[in-house]
Structure 1
Amino acid sequence: MAPAASKLRAEAGLQALPRRALAQYLRLLRLYPVLTKAATSAMLSALGNFLAQIFEQQQKKENCSQKLDVIGPLRYAIYGFFFTGPLSHHFYLFLEHWIPPEVPLAGVKRLLLDRLLFAPAFLLVFFLVMNFLEGRDAAAFAAKMRRGFWPALQMNWRVWTPVQFININYVPLQFRVLFANLVALFWYTYLASLRK
């Protein structure tokens, strides 16, 4: 009887784990919003790069254990922590303040501001920071910009426009960075393919 009761308690504890994790995340989000979003962005960005590398190797039919770039997830974590999390946090706050929900066509105005100003600037920062973290020079940056910026921006507009419409207009403010980071797991697969 005791082993069965112990097993039931363990299963109940496992079922409560997501609730406890969510409660802890919400507490940290309330106490340290920028730091929490930065840390979450770092972890999800690193995971996104790791998954992108695995996906690329599977596409090339390579052995997944041989050529993984262990520094790649670190670079993405740095970018997520210092840029994605804080910049996105402040941008979403700016949108709420500058274009409150009661403004006529607020959703469309927010989306246009995001797509036409923030997205190109954010993508430029991504290419610039990654170039720096890879230890490459200005010529390499210019070449990557010529080769990859416009295709990446066009794909960003196609992929992220509906995502950002939902995010900006329907996701609660405190969860917008998290929502975008979860979608970005797939986006990093695309960006990784452009960075080669």
Structure 2
Amino acid sequence: MPAQSVLIRDSSFLTRVLQQYLSLLKRYPIITKSVTSGFLSALGNLLSQALEYRKSNKENSPKKKINVLGPVHFAIFGLFITGPVSHYIYHLLEVLLPNTVPYCLIKRLLLERLIFAPAFLLLFYVIMNALEGKTLADLQNKIKTSYWPAMKMNWKVWTPIQFININYVPVQFRVLFANLVALFWYAYLSSVRK
């Protein structure tokens, strides 16, 4: 069984916020992970747009406007897909490949990287296409032009992160850990999907 967090008593603001988060995580794990995923996904999209805006200002190119629907779409994806799906995937990995299974560390990583990651990235493309009101032809074109480069980048960036996450981070914090890294990953995905 993965290590569990212990709530400590301290009056500092950050400690109280952490205590509240841990309490919510214990009482409402899926909802807490989903809301956290939605918030951090939206923040990642805003980060991407801010970087693009800043870059366009430096290059004297036409100024890009902030697309307010971008963070909304990412929040929806994080809230309804990333949070709950990740919760169940991480728990499924623990059930299918407990620490007693020989080579479980590598097997978990391979299962996550070769099965779950490609499917999840495809799901991202499909859902975002629908949220953006684009056509099936748009989706096919986007997959054709950017899915494989994004998947290769996913394997490069996420493989060491997921090795640590699925093998050493306590299961209740895996979605949060991945979401903090995903803050920057979603910024990357936002830029390659354009």
TM-score, normalised to structure 2, is 0.90
Larger C-alpha radius of gyration, 1 or 2?
Answer: 1
1:175 corresponds, among 139, 159, 173, to 173
2:27 corresponds, among 31, 35, 38, to 31
Q: Distance in 1 between matches of 2:103 and 2:52?
A: 41
Q: Distance in 2 between matches of 1:172 and 1:66?
A: 41
Contact map agreement 2:53 2:64 (CA 8 A) in 1 = no
TM-score, normalised to structure 1, is 0.90
Paired amino acid for 1:123: L
Paired amino acid for 1:165: F
Q: Distance in 2 between matches of 1:61 and 1:108?
A: 45
1:157 corresponds, among 144, 149, 155, to 155
Q: Distance in 1 between matches of 2:13 and 2:185?
A: 28
* 1:19-58 → structure 2 map (5 Å cutoff): 19-58=15-54
Q: Deviations over 1:21-41 (max 9, x none)?
A: 010001101111000000000
Q: Deviations over 1:159-193 (max 9, x none)?
A: 00000000001100000000000000111121011
Q: Distance in 2 between matches of 1:23 and 1:128?
A: 36
Q: How many residues align?
A: 181
Residue matched to 1:118: 116
Paired amino acid for 1:118: F
* 1:1-196 → structure 2 map (5 Å cutoff): 16-61=12-57, 67-196=65-194
- Structure 1 segments of 4 or more deviating over 6 A? none
Q: Deviations over 1:103-137 (max 9, x none)?
A: 11101000000000000000000000000000001
Q: Pairwise CA RMSD of aligned residues?
A: 1.4
Unpaired runs of 5+ residues, structure 2, are 1-10
Paired amino acid for 1:44: L
Identity of paired residues, percent?
57
Kindly state the Cα deviation for residue 59 of structure 1 after the two structures are TM-superposed. Answer: 2.2
